[in-house]
Amino acid sequence: MSIVLAGHGLIKKYGSTMALSGVDVEVRERDSLAIMGPSGSGKSTLLHVLAGIIRPDGGQVLVRDERIDNLGENRLSALRRKRFGFVFQFGQLLPELPAEENVALPLMLEGVPRKAAVERARRWFAPLGLEGLEGRRPGQLSGGQAQRVAIARALVVEPDVVFADEPTGALDQNTSTEVVQLLTSVTRSQGAALVMVTHDADVAAHCHRILQVRDGRISGHSQYTVA
């Protein structure tokens, strides 16, 4: 499998705080990588740097061999919209839009007409166990359903990489297991890679690999066999 995403020698400083002190990471197609570590260790910074949201102070980020950390803001945000999907702790769905339009939104931002975008968005509802909920607004969904809508929204552009920052952080244990199972399996079957920050070892165990971060450095790397 080829490498879709790589970070080489990543450095990020906030004043005198070294949030990342030279991190190397490679992610292959269909790979899933969980980033774990204590609070303040640099997990979110690493995810945001890999996702082109924060620029590193040193090192390089490559997407399929194309360096992205030095792209201009417009090209970088276009690349993020096309090649990456995002799932956050709180789905960040737009409350006034029905679920299907929330999922269709990234396509509409890319210029796909509304009707065609909603049609493509609807295809994601069955694989994510959301049939019948297309017209519900986020306030009418459970936390787990809302996160599944957020997963559909992340996948609708058929991204190379899905980035998830504590995607189960606001869910109870059972719902969390359901959501991470869907997130990892649907992402993989779609052919995308997954990079996920989590503090929950049960959630991380659904990923192929776990990267331990401590004080801005990789302190451990484990390989899991996922059933």
Ligand X SMILES: Nc1ncnc2c1ncn2[C@@H]1O[C@H](COP(=O)(O)OP(=O)(O)OP(=O)(O)O)[C@@H](O)[C@H]1O
**Site for ligand X (CB under 6 A): which residue of 14, 74, 95, 174?**
14
Q: Which residue has the tokens 């949201």?
A: 53
Angle CA 221–222–223, to nearest 5: 130
Measured from the CB atom, the residue of 36 and 179 that comes closer to ligand X is 36
Closest distance to ligand X from the beta carbon of 169 (Å): 10
Measured from the CB atom, the residue of 12 and 83 that comes closer to ligand X is 12
Contacts of 98 (CB under 8 A, 6+ apart): 134, 135, 136, 137
Question: Which range of residues in 13-21, 55-63, 111-119, 204-212 is near ligand X by CB under 6 A?
Answer: 13-21
**Site for ligand X (CB under 6 A): which residue of 27, 43, 161, 186?**
43
Closest distance to ligand X from the beta carbon of 103 (Å): 27
Measured from the CB atom, the residue of 22 and 127 that comes closer to ligand X is 22
Q: Judged by CB under 6 A, does residue 37 bind ligand X?
A: yes
CB-CB contact of 163 with 87 (8 Å): yes
Q: Judged by CB under 6 A, does residue 49 bind ligand X?
A: no
Helix (H) or strand (E) holding 150: helix 143-155
Question: Of 145, 156, 137, 143, which is closest to residue 97 (Cα–Cα)?
Answer: 137
Give the DSSP letter string of 16-83.
TEEEEEEEEEEEETT-EEEEE-STTSSHHHHHHHHTTSS--SEEEEEETTEE-TTS-HHHHHHHHHHH
Closest distance to ligand X from the beta carbon of 14 (Å): 3
**Site for ligand X (CB under 6 A): which residue of 39, 174, 223, 225?**
39
CA 128 – CA 118 distance, rounded (Å): 16
Closest distance to ligand X from the beta carbon of 97 (Å): 28
Measured from the CB atom, the residue of 161 and 211 that comes closer to ligand X is 211
Q: Provide the β-strand partners of residue 196.
A: 34, 164
Question: Which range of residues in 38-46, 114-122, 171-179, 218-226 is near ligand X by CB under 6 A?
Answer: 38-46
**Site for ligand X (CB under 6 A): which residue of 25, 32, 36, 41?**
41
Which residues of the shown chain bind ligand X in the complex (CB under 6 A)?
A: 14, 17, 19, 37, 39-45
